[in-house]
Amino acid sequence: MRAVIFDGRLRFLKVFPEPEIPSGWALIRVLKTGICKTDIEITRGYKNFKGVLGHEFVGVVEQCHDPDWVQKRVVGEINVGCGECEQCANELERHCPRRRVLGIVDLNGCMADYCVLPLSNLHAVPVSMVDHRAVLVEPLSAACEILEQLELTGSEQAVVLGDGRLGILCAWVLSTVLSDVTLIGHHPEKLEKGGWRTLKTAQISANRSDGADIVVEATGSGKGLVDAMSLCRPRGKIVLKSTVVSKSKMNLSSIVVNEQTLIGSRCGRFKTGLRMMESYPDMPLGRLISADYPIEQALEAFKQTTQPDTLKIVLDMTI
Q: Which of 31, 52, 64, 88 binds Zn ion (CB under 5 A)?
A: 88
Note whether 82 binds Zn ion by CB under 5 A.
yes
Question: Closest distance between Zn ion and the C-beta of residue 133, in Å?
Answer: 16
Q: What share of the chain is helix, strand, coil (3-state, %, to 5)?
A: 30, 30, 40
Start-to-end CA span in the chain (Å): 15
Judged by CB under 5 A, the number of residues near Zn ion is 7
Stretch that binds Zn ion, among 85-93, 201-209, 213-221, 273-281 (CB under 5 A): 85-93
Distance CA 26, CA 69 (A): 9
Question: Closest distance between Zn ion and the C-beta of residue 96, in Å?
Answer: 3
Question: Closest distance between Zn ion and the C-beta of residue 192, in Å?
Answer: 23
Q: Which of 26, 53, 75, 96 binds Zn ion (CB under 5 A)?
A: 96
| Per-residue binder mask for Zn ion (CB under 5 A), 28-57, x = binder | --------x-x-------------------
- Tell me which residue of 161, 218, 177, 171 sits closest to 199, measured CA to CA: 171
Do 67 and 34 meet the contact criterion of CB atoms below 8 Å apart? no
Q: Which of 40, 85, 92, 119 binds Zn ion (CB under 5 A)?
A: 85
* Cross-strand bridge partners of residue 35: 313
Question: Closest distance between Zn ion and the C-beta of residue 108, in Å?
Answer: 16
3-state secondary structure of 132: helix
DSSP of 87-111: HHHTT-GGG-TT-EEETTBEE--SS
Residue 279's φ and ψ, nearest 5 degrees, are -75, -30
Stretch that binds Zn ion, among 88-96, 149-157, 185-193, 203-211 (CB under 5 A): 88-96
Strands 25-35 and 56-63: antiparallel
Question: Closest distance between Zn ion and the C-beta of residue 82, in Å?
Answer: 3
Question: Closest distance between Zn ion and the C-beta of residue 248, in Å?
Answer: 23
If the CB atoms of residues 38 and 175 are measured against Zn ion, the closer one turns out to be 38
If the CB atoms of residues 79 and 201 are measured against Zn ion, the closer one turns out to be 79
Do 138 and 75 meet the contact criterion of CB atoms below 8 Å apart? yes
Distance CA 38, CA 115 (A): 18
Note whether 111 binds Zn ion by CB under 5 A.
no
| Residue numbers at the binding site for Zn ion (CB under 5 A) | 36, 38, 81-82, 85, 88, 96
